[in-house]
Every structure is written in C-alpha cells, then in structure tokens.
Amino acid sequence: MSRIENTFSKLKKENRKAFVPYIMAGDGGVECLVNRLVTLEKFGATAIEVGVPFSDPVADGPTIQAAGIRALERGTTLKGIIEELVKAREVVTIPLLLMTYLNPIYAYGIEAFVEDIRKAGVDGCIIPDLPIEEEDIIVQHLNKAEIELIRLVTLTTPLERIKTISHKGKGFLYLVTVKGITGTRNRYDSDLNQFLKSVKEISPIPVLAGFGISNANQIKELTEFCDGVIVGSKIVDLFENNNLEEMEKLLSGFQQESKLV
C-alpha cells in the first residue's frame, strides 16, 4: 500500500474523517515551506496539499491567486519547491500532495518532473487542467514512480463519468463542491449533500470535498456525506496573518469531532 492508501485505511478502521489543508508554496518565502508543513502535521493534518504558484491559474480564487502572486514575486520556482520538499520529507511523515498545472510540468519536462518529485517523497499529484482523456501523457510515469494521480470531479460531472474517473485511482477522489473557483463561502447549494452521498455510493475510493470550506460547521456538515475535506483559502489566510492559534483550533477541533463520529 502507498502512504495515501495506508492513511485512509487507518482512518476507515478508526471511523474517522480526513482533514487536508492546502498551502501555497513560496508564500512568505519558499524557505518557510518546511516549517509550515511541520506545523500542519503537528496540528493534526491527515495529508497536505502543496500548491505551486502559476501565473494563469484556472481554478484559484482571489485568496490563492494573491498567495501565488506573492510567491512568484519572491522568486519561487517549481525546482525550488521540490528541493524544499526533499528537506520536508526528512521530518514530515504524512502524505504530501503536489498541486500544479500542466504548463509548469511541460516546462520542467514530464519525466524529469516525475522523477524529481518521486525523490522528494511526494505521494500524490493534483493537476486541475488535465482531463482523463489526456492523462496518458503523465499517468504512466506517475504509476511507475508509485505516485498517485488525484483526479477531480465537479457538481456538473455526470455520475456515469464520475464512476469511470473514481475507478481509475487508488488514492482519493477530489470533489469540487462549488460551480466556480476556490474561496471561502458562507453557504453551499442545497443539493450538495445528496450529490456527495451519490458520489460516495459509486466511488471505490475515499471521497474528499474541497473548495470554499472555511469553518467547523461546514466541515461537520459535509463530512457526514464524504470521507473528509480539503481546506485551502482559509489556511492560506491564517498563514498570511500568522494566526496559528486559530489554525490549531480549527484542526484540533476537527480531530476531536472526528473521533466522536
């Protein structure tokens, strides 16, 4: 089993849910990446999604776009991020997921990219602009390196297509909970819970909900219908404001709730 599979297998046995925070690598300086990863693991993160700053993101909302711009202005590069992840893997034990778009991977070189993230101990790769029809350009290399491609589905993805997508992976299915970009939200569509339930019923792998999740009430509601959540903009904001106390409260509160499920 991979580190991701082992993690979710353990959660299932303990009847617990996953909390995966997202951070933008290079926001605040790439040199602080390792410390932030260590902090999130200490606070109870199940796994961590590490974003690569990109000049033309298609899925990022204002908060994450601003973090990406700050990171790029500080000279953050994909190569520099991977070098920091090598250091991080010496002290971080939970799964690390790298989120990037296709353009930086092409510029880096697909085979070189996969080999370098393998050496860095990356467990999964999230590529939002890669449809399943085109994934052969990289998935064979990822499979060989034992790195899981984490696939995304949305509220507008037909259930039959979701069934096909979910049967392709061994990690987890990333379900985008909004019709739009990332960013904190006060409410979700009324039919989201039923959609999550339907996806959970047909997916052979864990289903995690992401986009717009920012508070404990949302997390508690959504995790009744899926296997965990991915929280991005809220975590980015808390790091930007150096509000580690609220971040710890959010993650530790989730852990306590999860133990009671």
2 pLDDT higher than 90: yes
Tens-place pLDDT, residues 174-193 = 999 976 444 444 445 568 99
Tens-place pLDDT, residues 71-84 = 999 999 999 999 99
Q: 3-class DSSP state for residue 171?
A: coil
Tens-place pLDDT, residues 100-156 = 999 999 999 999 999 999 999 999 999 999 999 999 999 999 999 999 999 999 999
Tens-place pLDDT, residues 201-210 = 999 999 999 9
User: Can you give the pLDDT at residue 183?
Assistant: 44
Tens-place pLDDT, residues 7-55 = 999 999 999 999 999 999 999 999 999 999 999 999 999 999 999 999 8
d(CA 62, CA 82): 25
4 pLDDT higher than 90: yes
DSSP β-ladder status, 228-231 and 48-51: unpaired
**Arithmetic mean of pLDDT over the chain:** 92
pLDDT range class, residue 57, cuts 50, 70, 90 = confident
User: Can you give the pLDDT at residue 116?
Assistant: 98
User: Can you give the pLDDT at residue 254?
Assistant: 84
User: Could you tell me what percent of the chain has a pLDDT over 90?
Assistant: 82
Q: Read off the pLDDT of each residue in 85-98 and give the average, rounded to a whole number.
A: 98
User: Can you give the pLDDT at residue 182?
Assistant: 47
User: Can you give the pLDDT at residue 55?
Assistant: 87
Catalytic residue positions, numbered: 49, 60
60-64 — which CB contacts under 8 Å span 24+ positions?
Answer: 60/181, 60/182, 61/180, 61/181, 61/182, 61/183, 61/233, 62/183, 63/182, 63/183, 63/184, 63/232, 63/233, 63/236, 63/237, 64/22, 64/24, 64/182, 64/183, 64/232, 64/233, 64/236
pTM: 0.93
Sign of CA dihedral 63, 66, 70, 76: positive
Higher pLDDT pick, 85 / 183: 85
CATH topology of domain 3-260: TIM Barrel (3.20.20)
User: Can you give the pLDDT at residue 258?
Assistant: 63
d(CA 51, CA 49): 6
User: Can you give the pLDDT at residue 1?
Assistant: 82
